[in-house]
Chains A and B, each alone.
Chain A
Amino acid sequence: MSAGPHHRLLPDGRLHLGHGPIDLIVAVEGDARAVTAAQARAVARFDGLLAELVAELPLLRAPVRGDSCPLKGVVARRMWHCAHSFAPEFATPMAAVAGAVAEAVLAAMVPAPGLTRGYANNGGDIALWLAPGAPAWRLGVIVDPAAPRSPGKLVIGPDDPGRGVATSGARGRSHSLGIADSVTVLAADAPTADVAATLLGNAVDLPGHPAIRRLPARQLLPDSDLGETPVTQGVGTLTEAEIATALDAGQTTAEAMLRCRKILGAVLVLQGFVRIVGAIQMVPVSPTSTSRTLLHA
């Protein structure tokens, strides 16, 4: 029996939209009436979005090949094109799904007169919007939800180019081929950040290392878009040299993406070590800070 989408206004005024595997937290700021109208648009866009994607699921799970997009849905096509922009790296449109959903729901709300800022956070894949002159968004980057010692806050102001932030990693909900605890990517838009985070999460790796347990994706999720590819199930303790080697591999890939302007920056985290690539503006976490932040894991 299939449950429909659900919508809930949280006590702090944010909107929680859920349907199956999608869990979105949506915030929008501005005049009360403009905010209410924007929330209604977000809900209207959200309903039916999962059905729209499910209708083309087999193609969304297939690797991106060739130059002509076989998909029809607006969000599905967006996913395909974002995955395609990273060719020849192996990616399916599903690598962009969380970011593309966040972007689509945010786009239904903003821009509109009376609104100053907004975001749609799809389980850590975040689409942001800021009106000119709006205060910056500050995103806390949490590496390990069980030990929320944050390496810092990411600051994104209206004049910064980034509007998408995504995180991937072996501890996340979707399967990773790599071993990074987390990779957080800042990009021009959310679906691009999503694909990049997935690919960088895969790149931080130590192929063949005995402390890394892997299982074919299909064994974990029979209809996984990763097929028989081994995905990471657990990572044992690594030496500092091994951690550096794995992070080097990720950093090399990240720098290549940076050079061709696919991403704006990335934060790679593995067993307590952090690498920052690109122009990521991080500020130390101040315990007295009172500004609203996005928790982001």
Chain B
Amino acid sequence: MSDLTRDDISALPSLAERPRRDRPEKIRCDACPVLCFIAEGRAGACDRYANVDGVLTRVDPLVILDRAVQAGGEVVSFLEDGREWEGDLVQPPARFVTAVGAGTTYPDYKPAPFIVSSQMDGVDMVTVVTEGIFSYCGVKLKIDTDRHLGPETAIVRYQGEAVGHVTTGEYGSQMMSLGGVHHLTGGSKKEGRATCEALLHLCNRQAVELNVDGGVTIVVEAGKEPVIDGAREERMRVGCGSAAIGMFAQQWFRHVDEVVVVDDHITGVLSEHQAGKLLDVPPTGIRIKGHKSTPGRYFRVAEPGQGWGGTNITDPLAIIERFDAKVARPGLKVLMVSTTGDHSAYFVLDDELNPVPATMPAPVAESVARVQENCEPALCSVVFIGGAGGSLRAGVTENPVKLTRSVRETLTYVTSGGAEVYIWPGGGITYMVDVTRMPENSFGYVPTPALVAPIEFTMRLSDYEALGGHMASIRSLEEVTGVERRLNRDTEPGLWPVLPHHFGWNRRP
């Protein structure tokens, strides 16, 4: 694997060199259980997959985005009456041809399937529309949950095959990294297929069940709550225990003497915490098990688990060693609450300084509800990441490296299915896109295995010419008709792909 360069992979097993048969080749489509037998140049029963030169190819209709004036409303041409609506002088085209369903001219990619001209504010623009075959691709999963999914670097499996791993945690969420060239093409055939299938379903916003070695079974679906070990998660904790003390100290200190916010990461104790000190909360003599960090903040009060605040605790008193008799007094009121507010308990110290469960007063119960209310919903985010190889770029220009530079110089704006992308610094065109911003079912696959993802490059006509574009293949936006799926998009302001502020030349003085 190690001596293969990016372009070796992107060029894929050389189909052009495969011996041609005299009779047209038939292939078996495995995209659905019908398993159509498809003759060369024909489509299967669904009209979505076809046999193109012996390669199973997705031929969904081209997706064209229409700017709708209002969500769910009639399509009103932006060119006709959008001027008043938008209130500015910019006149971007009302239609944008996405690469979803555009197909590729694989294996040579020259030129890209659609090179479309349009006008933006009097400037001639070109959008190069193609579907890329990505062997170098994967997804980053951000699972907004407090549940411990598995240890860092643990292998993540799909249908028993290793397809990725749990990666470093940023924010309170758990992150996973799936796919990448080694799982797709570096392992066994089975591993490659499983990886490709998991990525395809995740990117097309379908539910995928993953197993984490030494961790949980999780069902991930973009934009939905995760289902962990069979239970659908609802909320994510409001913050760590220390953050929760900081946020709610004002609401607590009048009603209770002590608050312990139980959390897998940092457990907070009101009377010792800076927020409690500022409110003159007196010490209570509470002694918490676990490693004290700074005052009022404790690490590792228990093991990770499915109990209170992502710990394995079911009885909260298990983390309290004792109340110091020199400081504590009978009648002391103690609230214990998890960082999601899902668990809470209220205690009053008896004469032996033992916490005894008691009925929670209404204002305290309200504060627990407030913790719950402030938790963000549990959510799965799926971000596709892919690197556009040399051959894809060759579909855009005869001199592929110029395209990379043009993107760097913000002369060329890159979108995926019309959605905004993040371009990584450094070489090549490695981009990330939130799949929920793309048209549904934007992704396909080839049996290599590799994912097929849409990518569009938009730039000025003059810039396209300068980078050695396929000028003879340009056609006007109006000419792109025929088989197409039109989507009305009520895009967020500024996110429409063809707008002047995306381009560096517009920002220069």
User: Do A20 and B38 have beta carbons less than 8 Å apart?
Assistant: no
A221 contact from B39, B193, B440, Cβ within 8 A: B39
Which of B26-34, B289-297, B377-385, B491-499 is the interface stretch?
Answer: B26-34
User: Do B42 and A50 have beta carbons less than 8 Å apart?
Assistant: no
How many CB-defined contacts (below 8 Å) exist between A and B? 65
Complex Cα spacing A4 to B208, Å: 10
Contacting A at CB under 8 A, from B33-63, are 33-39, 42, 44-47
B44 contact from A12, A51, A219, A221, Cβ within 8 A: A221
Residue interface mask A32-58, B partner, CB < 8 A = 1: 000000000000000000110010010
User: Do B30 and A54 have beta carbons less than 8 Å apart?
Assistant: no
Which of B118-126, B162-170, B195-203 is the interface stretch?
Answer: B195-203
Complex Cα spacing A57 to B36, Å: 11
CB contact under 8 A between A6 and B45, given known A20-B33, A54-B33 = no
Complex Cα spacing A225 to B14, Å: 35
Residue interface mask A214-226, B partner, CB < 8 A = 1: 0000011111000
B71 — which chain A residues lie within 8 A by C-beta? 11
B37 contact from A4, A8, A21, A223, Cβ within 8 A: A223
Contact-residue size bin, chain B (C-beta under 8 Å from the other chain) = 20 to 34
A138 — which chain B residues lie within 8 A by C-beta? none
A1 — which chain B residues lie within 8 A by C-beta? 30-31, 193, 196-197, 200, 445, 449
Complex Cα spacing A276 to B358, Å: 79
User: Do B32 and A19 have beta carbons less than 8 Å apart?
Assistant: yes
B436 — which chain A residues lie within 8 A by C-beta? none
User: Do A2 and B38 have beta carbons less than 8 Å apart?
Assistant: no
A21 contact from B32, B193, B196, B200, Cβ within 8 A: B32
CB contact under 8 A between A50 and B45, given known A1-B196, A1-B197 = no
CB contact under 8 A between A219 and B39, given known A21-B32, A21-B44, A21-B46 = yes
User: Do B47 and A20 have beta carbons less than 8 Å apart?
Assistant: no
Complex Cα spacing A142 to B72, Å: 22
Q: Does A260 contact B (CB under 8 A)?
A: no
Main secondary structure of the interface of B (DSSP, over half): loop
User: Do B38 and A221 have beta carbons less than 8 Å apart?
Assistant: yes
B406 — which chain A residues lie within 8 A by C-beta? none
B36 contact from A3, A11, A51, A221, Cβ within 8 A: A221
User: Do B37 and A20 have beta carbons less than 8 Å apart?
Assistant: no
Shortest B291–chain A CB gap in Å is 46
Q: Does B367 contact A (CB under 8 A)?
A: no
A54 contact from B34, B44, B46, Cβ within 8 A: B34
Q: Does A292 contact B (CB under 8 A)?
A: no
Output the nearest chain A residue to B441 by Cβ-Cβ distance.
A6
Q: Does B206 contact A (CB under 8 A)?
A: yes
CB contact under 8 A between A11 and B32, given known A3-B201, A4-B206 = no
Most buried by B among A1, A4, A6, A50: A1
Shortest B474–chain A CB gap in Å is 25
User: Do B44 and A3 have beta carbons less than 8 Å apart?
Assistant: no
Shortest B64–chain A CB gap in Å is 15
Shortest B430–chain A CB gap in Å is 25
CB contact under 8 A between A20 and B34, given known A1-B193, A1-B200, A220-B39 = yes
B42 — which chain A residues lie within 8 A by C-beta? 220-221
Complex Cα spacing A2 to B206, Å: 13
Shortest B188–chain A CB gap in Å is 15
Complex Cα spacing A212 to B478, Å: 31
A57 contact from B32, B34, B193, Cβ within 8 A: B34
Complex Cα spacing A259 to B196, Å: 55
Complex Cα spacing A191 to B204, Å: 32
Shortest B507–chain A CB gap in Å is 36
Complex Cα spacing A8 to B206, Å: 10
A8 contact from B39, B72, B440, B449, Cβ within 8 A: B440
Complex Cα spacing A57 to B45, Å: 13
User: Do A2 and B32 have beta carbons less than 8 Å apart?
Assistant: yes
Most buried by A among B30, B34, B42: B34
B440 — which chain A residues lie within 8 A by C-beta? 8
User: Do A3 and B32 have beta carbons less than 8 Å apart?
Assistant: yes
A57 — which chain B residues lie within 8 A by C-beta? 34
A11 — which chain B residues lie within 8 A by C-beta? 71-72
B36 — which chain A residues lie within 8 A by C-beta? 221, 223
User: Do B33 and A50 have beta carbons less than 8 Å apart?
Assistant: yes
B30 — which chain A residues lie within 8 A by C-beta? 1-2
Shortest A234–chain B CB gap in Å is 15
CB contact under 8 A between A20 and B39, given known A3-B32, A11-B72, A54-B33 = no
Residue interface mask A186-228, B partner, CB < 8 A = 1: 0000000000000000000000000000000001111100000
Residue interface mask A1-37, B partner, CB < 8 A = 1: 1111010100110000001110000000000000000
Chain B residues within 8 Å of A, Cβ to Cβ: 26, 30-39, 42, 44-47, 71-72, 193, 196-197, 200-201, 204, 206, 440-441, 445, 449
For the A-B complex with A21-B47, A57-B34 known, give 15 more contacts whose Cβ atoms are closer than 8 Å.
Answer: A1-B30, A1-B196, A1-B445, A11-B71, A20-B32, A20-B33, A50-B33, A50-B34, A219-B39, A220-B39, A221-B36, A221-B37, A221-B39, A221-B42, A223-B36
What would be 24 A-B contacts, judged by CB atoms less than 8 Å apart?
A1-B31, A1-B445, A2-B31, A2-B32, A2-B33, A3-B200, A4-B206, A6-B204, A6-B206, A8-B440, A11-B71, A12-B72, A20-B31, A20-B46, A21-B34, A21-B47, A51-B33, A54-B35, A173-B47, A219-B39, A221-B38, A221-B39, A221-B42, A221-B45
Instruction: Please give me the 9 A-B residue pairs with the lowest Cβ-Cβ distance, nearest first.
Output: A20-B32, A21-B46, A222-B37, A21-B45, A54-B33, A1-B197, A223-B37, A20-B34, A222-B26
